[in-house]
Amino acid sequence: HMRQGDLTELLGTFNMLFLLVAASYAASVSFRDLGRKSAATSLLMLPASDTEKFLSRWLLTIPLAFLWLMAIAYAGDYLSAFLAGIFFNTGYKGAFGWNICVTDSLDVPMAAATMLFLQSFFFLGSLLWPRFSWCKSLLALILLICLCIGIVMTVIYSLRVDSGMSMTVNILDRSDLIVTLLGLAVINFIISFFCFREAEIINRW
């Protein structure tokens, strides 16, 4: 007999992983046609400005894709709740119920900022590596995270050695982290736009 809390945690984790992987994959294929000469030529021949082409891909693979994936996730969650009631008799109401998931006023902004940052990173990756973009972007993200952790740990260790005492460093609270992630997302999208313009110039020649 599976407890409701265990089922909520299991399916909630699965749904979140589904959203993260699916949303990042949708962003990573935004400009995969630039990896093929014929498709890149077709993109160049479209009667639209660089800004219009870029924004059309952005709208399709970032906000619209996320809304579509959220709809799928919610539908799957309610189906899970229905099946759990039949097979496990848990009274499971769904992992996406706000009374279950939201325990802090910053939970939703934090989740949204994290998702937007991941989408922006993989969106940029689709321009840097049009072929196998998702795998290459994921590897780059992992390496970047490891590098950041290494730098932070080195700085903290140096401060402890210099001060000769144990110390706890609180680098960012949640509100600062949300602002940081949103700022990084905006930077990624701006870089993406200029990378797109550069890719258009290269393919024209």
The CA distance from 120 to 56, in Å, is: 15
Q: Are 117 and 185 in contact (CB under 8 A)?
A: yes
Q: CA-CA distances (angstroms) from residue 125 to 4, 24, 49?
A: 39, 10, 22
For 89: left if phi > 0, alpha if psi spans -120 to 50, otherwise beta; the answer is left
Q: Are 127 and 201 in contact (CB under 8 A)?
A: no
Question: For the residues of 7-36, what is the DSSP string, one character each?
Answer: HHHHHHHHHHHHHHHHHHHHHHTTTGGGGS
Local mean pLDDT, 10-residue blocks, the chain (205 residues): 57 76 89 74 73 89 87 76 65 50 64 89 91 91 92 79 55 81 94 85 56
Residue 105 DSSP symbol: T
The CA distance from 96 to 98, in Å, is: 6
- What backbone phi and psi angles, to 5 degrees, belong to 172? -140, 135
Q: CA-CA distances (angstroms) from residue 94 to 11, 67, 74, 89, 108?
A: 8, 18, 9, 13, 17
3-class DSSP state of 93: coil
CA 30 to chain CA centroid, Å, is: 14
- Number of H helices and E strands in the chain, helices first, is 8, 0
pLDDT number for residue 102:
47
For 164: left if phi > 0, alpha if psi spans -120 to 50, otherwise beta; the answer is left
Residue 47 DSSP symbol: S
* Dihedral angle of Cα 140, 65, 117, 94, to the nearest 10 degrees: -110
